[in-house]
Amino acid sequence: MTMRTMAAPVAFSSIDPVFARAEREGRSFLFEHEVYAILRAAGIGVPRTLFVPTGRKVAARDLAGFRGAEVVLKIVSPLIQHKTDVGGVVFAKKSAAAVNAAVKAMTAGVLGRFDERAARDVAPSQRGVLVCEKVDFEKLGFGTELLVGVRTTREFGPVVTFGAGGVEVEFLNARLKDRQAVGIASAHLLKERNVPALVAGLAVSDKLVKPFRGRGAVLRPEELNRTLLRMAALAARYSPFGRSRYVIEEMGVNPFVVRAGKLVPLDGLCRFS
C-alpha cells in the first residue's frame, strides 16, 4: 500500500502461518498471543508477551525484557473465552519465583470455579499462561478504552468498526447521540482520505485527538488513522474476496489504550474460517 500512514507494508507472509497452525490444531479461533502476532505483522505495536506452555517454569532471563515491577498473567485455554470471569487474569511481581507461584495459584483457582465434571475437561485443555507486560496508559475516563473490530458480514462484506471500548461499551453507546457512538466502514472501500470523515464527530475520537479541559491531545490523528487503515487492510486481505484461503469472520481489540501517543492493544480475539 502506498498510503502515507501505511509506509511499511503489512507482512501477510507472517500472518498466514498463524492461521495455518491453528487450523492444524482443529481451532477456528486464535489465542490472544496469536492475535498479537497478527497485529505485530500488520505494523501495530503490541505489549511484550511470553507464552509459557503448561508444565514449563519461568526463568529470570525470560522476564528480563519486561518493563515495570509487575507483569500480567492470563490463562490460555480453548475452553475459556472470558478469562477475568473465572479468575484467569492476575498480577504478579516481576520475579521468576513470584510468577511461578502466581501461575500455580491461578491455575488451581480457575479449576475451582468449575464443577467437578467441567473441571475434568478444562484441566487438560489449558495450554499454558501468557505473561504480559503491564502497560501504563493514559487514564481519561470515557475514552480510556477503545474498540477496533473487523467483521465479515453477509450484506457488506468485511467492515471495520471503531468506538469506545471496555465492559460498559454497549451501555455508553446506547446513550450517545446518533453518529457519535461508533464509526463503521467497508474494509475494501476505506481509503486514507476517508478516515477523517469516519471518525469526525465521534465522542471518543474527539476526546483523544483534541485538547480537553486544559489537557492537550493524547493521540495524533495520524496514529488513529494508521491503526484503522491497518485493521482494514487485514479485513480486506482475509475476506471472502481476498487473496488468502483464510477468512477473518470476526476480529476485535477491546481495549486499545493510549501509551506515549501510541495505541496499544490489551486484549484481542479472532474467529476465522
pLDDT at residue 81 greater than cutoff 90 = no
pLDDT greater at residue 179 or residue 267: 267
- What are the start-end ranges of the H helices in 1-95? 12-24, 32-41
| 3 has pLDDT over 60 | no
Of 36-45, 151-160, 198-207, the range with the lowest mean pLDDT is: 198-207
Contacts of 95 (CB under 8 A, 6+ apart): 60, 63
Q: Which three cell numbers stand for residue 237?
A: 486481505
**Cα four-point dihedral sign 199, 187, 36, 79:** positive
Q: What is the reported pTM?
A: 0.92
Instruction: Specify whether the CB–CB gap between 198 and 204 falls below 8 A.
Output: no
**Cross-strand partners of 217:** none
Question: pLDDT band at 6, cuts 50/70/90?
Answer: low
Helix/strand/coil for 247: coil
Sequence-separated (6 or more) residues with CB below 8 Å from residue 33: 49, 51, 76, 130
Tens digits of per-residue pLDDT, 106-155? 999 999 988 888 888 888 888 999 999 999 999 988 889 999 999 999 99
- Quick: pLDDT tens for 210-230: 998 888 999 999 999 999 999
